[in-house]
Amino acid sequence: MFGCLVVDTRRRNTSSPSSLWQRPPSSLLPLLLQTDVHTSYLIFAPPPLRYEQGRNYFFDFGSTSFAYEGRKDSLARQLQRFKKYSHVDFDDIFCWEAKINTRPSNYWAEVPPHLIPKMHFYNVPIQSDLDSAMSAVRIIQQVATKRDYVVVKLDIDNNPVETAIMDQVLHSAHLLSLIDELFWEHHVKGSPSQWHHWGDLAHLKGDYANLTSSYKAFLALRQAGIRAHSWV
C-alpha cells in the first residue's frame, strides 16, 4: 500500500510547511475546499508471502464506531478493502474508542455476525503508558509474533498520546519488527487540516509538532520496513 504522507501534499501547488502555520485560517479556505479528505488514494497490496502461515491482526486506535455512518474511512470499509484488494481476512480486530456516547448495543448492531468472534472493542481512551491495562502497544507485543501480519491505524485526535505511542514504536526494535502496515493521522501544525478538522495547532509543541518532523517520522518507519501511510 502506498500513498502521499500528508493530505495536502497530494496537491502540486501546496505551500511549504514552514509557511502554512503562520497564515490565518481564512487564507487557506480555497485550498481546503479543493483538498480531498479521505483515504481513497491508498493503493492496497497483498502482504509479503512470509505471512501466509501466521495470523492477521488489525489494531484500530480511534475506532469511533464500526460503520461510522457509512463513511468511506470507517473500520467496516477498511476491512472490506483489505479483503477485496489485499485478500486479507483478519483473525483478530482490536479497537479503542474514547468517546462514551456510543451505546454498546448500537455499536455491535453494526458488526456482521461473522466478525463478532474476532472483534475486541474497548470503549475507553487508549493509553501510552506501557504499564497501563489499556496500553495498545503492550497488547501488540503480547499477542503478535514476527510471523503475523500486523496492521495499525492511529487516529485519536490527541497529539501528546499519539506521538508518545509513535515514539515507543520508533525506539523499539521489537515493535518495528512486529508492525507491517501503519496508518497515522498525524496532527501537526503546518497542515491545512489544522483548521479544517483539527482546530488551531499553530502553537503545538513537541518532537513531532510540524510537517517536517512528520516526514522524518514516516521516513524512519519506512526505512525500518513498515508500510507507513498518512491517514486522510
127-154: pLDDT as tens digits = 999 999 999 999 999 999 999 999 999 9
Mean pLDDT of the chain: 78
Residue range 7-230, CATH number? 3.40.50
Q: pLDDT category, 48, cuts 50, 70, 90? A: low
Q: What average pLDDT does this structure show over 10-22?
A: 47
Q: What average pLDDT does this structure show over 77-87?
A: 90
Between 206 and 92, whose confidence is greater? 92
pLDDT for residue 112 is more than 70? yes
Question: What is residue 222's three-state secondary structure?
Answer: helix
* Domain residue ranges of the chain, discontinuous segments joined by +: 7-230
pLDDT for residue 91 is more than 90? yes
- The upper half-sphere exposure of residue 95, i.e. CA atoms within 13 Å in the direction of its Cβ, equals 23
Cα four-point dihedral sign 43, 52, 89, 169 = negative
pLDDT of the residue at 12 = 40
- The angle formed by the CA atoms of residues 78, 181 and 100, to the nearest 5 degrees, is 55
CA torsion angle 48 60 186 173 (round to 10): -50
pTM attached to this predicted model = 0.78
Instruction: For residue range 181-230, list pLDDT tens digits in order.
Output: 999 887 776 665 555 555 565 566 666 667 778 888 999 999 999 999 88
Phi and psi angles of residue 164, each rounded to the nearest 5 degrees, phi first: -65, -40
Separation between Cα atoms, residue 69 and residue 7, nearest integer Å? 22
Separation between Cα atoms, residue 5 and residue 215, nearest integer Å? 7
Q: Residue 61: left if φ>0, alpha if ψ -120 to 50, beta else—which one?
A: beta
pLDDT of the residue at 188 = 73
